[in-house]
Amino acid sequence: MSEPVAHRHPAKPPSQTSASRPGATAGPGRGSADPATGAAAGTSGPGPVRATAVVTGSMSASASASASASVPVTADGTGPASRAPGSTGTASEAAPGTGPLPGTTATTAPSGRAPAPAAPSRSPVGSSRPSADPSRPIRVASVPAGHVYVRHLSPPGGDRVVRLVDPRPCTAPSGSQQWWPPVMLEPGWVDAHAGDFDVFHLHFGFDAQSPAALRALVEALRRNGRPLVHTVHDLVNPHHRDEAEHRAQLDVLVPAADRIITLTPGAAAEIAARWGRTALVLPHPHVVGATGLVRPRPERDTFTVGVHAKSIRPNMDPLPVVRVLADALSELPDAVLRVDCHPEIDDPASHWYAPGVLDELRATAREERLELHVHDYFDDEALHDYLINLDVSVLPYRFGTHSGWLEACHDLGTTVLAPSCGFYAQQRPCLTYGHDRRGLDAVSLREAVRTAHELRPAWRADPADRRAERLRLAREHEALYADLL
């Protein structure tokens, strides 16, 4: 699958529904014109947001040492800033591969609110269920299994957790690695293959499933005595303009799951507040492979800031961001703004048609205020080449929760300017600027890019820390699965 860290779904979009993107429009203030009112899930509070370097408990030990012992500091280094909500503080100082996983916490329900009851106990099905014998494999039906996030939940040499291969959808061509739409979400598949797996772990890919279909899935798992684990990657769906559909899906999955995992303390706190469930917080594993983690960064004479608009999915509002950056970078020496997008945004027949966007970008490029690159989806190698050749990657999101793109940047040493919405700043060290459904805080974006130009933050992941983190993540998942059996 192309651009796996940014696009968990195939390049071909699903059929349009009332919740899917009907098309984008150019012009200022597109984000602020959204019909949603108030702060959405994962959005920041009111007021401008200063550029801050937020250092969370999931960062590497080396990055922690270089950022004032894991205390959040203002980007200009002048003093402490407000800790990100739910931040876990310093990273573990244990030797690699030992001790608790940095960023691992269990967030409980708010005081006075009882946690949701556990799902009914499950009776074994047949003789294929593993015993307490630690040498027996634990078979996991993971949705999906082939995505890089899931692959990196296993140690390089493997462990007793065996994830079933993604079944090929009937619509996928022969030999394709396409996993979407996931076949495992069909109750009939669960009934037919209950003897082949011990635990069902749902990550993402349920966009097209109605709440009724998800309830049928849960019923099939209970009927067959198979526990459900759900990792909440998205509290709001970046592919849906309207939150209602995704909220309804989570209203089925989160209460029904035997165990809940999420990636940041802030997301766990929201899960506790919304559903009264305790979520285990486990950070995102590395995205880039072992070779890429040690790949030298190229030496350049320019300071290159990138905005990748991709196909302008509903949570993106790139034009206001690009306008501010073009102005700000014109005032900085040797600064270059690079803007990338996919050609389908200029195709009236495409689901992703965004009339006027490319016209404005081309006009700005003719004024030599940005470099424009229009191309099809990057594969993994091209994406990593693109990212490592940027000094800064700006995420033009106005709503969202977590980002695999940010993790890839951390692996490669590219500074991220993340929006104030969601919980991006709790994932890895980054600079933030104000951007949510209410619009863009241009002042904070200008300050953030100036800070990046002046300080040139060096927040690249330490390869040894990433390897140790991956081993701990594998152990945490193995222990969680074994506890359910």
Does one domain contain both 300 and 394? yes
The closest of 418, 400, 424, 404 to 85, measured between CA atoms, is 424
Does one domain contain both 131 and 254? yes
Does one domain contain both 165 and 236? yes
Does one domain contain both 126 and 228? yes
Strands 105-107 and 279-281: antiparallel
Q: What pLDDT, on the 0 to 100 scale, is given for residue 173?
A: 56
Does one domain contain both 322 and 419? yes
Q: What pLDDT, on the 0 to 100 scale, is given for residue 133?
A: 76
Q: Is 443 domain-assigned?
A: yes
Does one domain contain both 56 and 196? no
Q: Is 34 domain-assigned?
A: no
Pick out the chain residues at pLDDT < 50.
1-100, 102-103, 107-127, 131
Does one domain contain both 242 and 340? no
Does one domain contain both 333 and 453? yes
Does one domain contain both 141 and 171? yes
Q: What pLDDT, on the 0 to 100 scale, is given for residue 177?
A: 60
pTM of the model: 0.77
Q: Are 230 and 191 in contact (CB under 8 A)?
A: no
Domain holding 319: CATH number?
A: 3.40.50.2000
Does one domain contain both 84 and 114? no
Q: What pLDDT, on the 0 to 100 scale, is given for residue 63?
A: 38
Domain holding 260: CATH number?
A: 3.40.50
Q: Which domain holds residue 394?
A: 52-93+289-463
Q: Is 9 domain-assigned?
A: no
Does one domain contain both 403 and 360? yes
Q: What tokens appear for 291 in the block?
A: 């070779």
Q: Is 352 domain-assigned?
A: yes
Distance CA 216, CA 221 (A): 9
Q: How many domains does the chain have?
A: 2
Q: How are strands ordered across the β-sheet holding 161-163?
A: 105-107, 279-281, 259-262, 228-232, 199-202, 138-143, 161-163
Does one domain contain both 244 and 272? yes
Q: Is 21 domain-assigned?
A: no
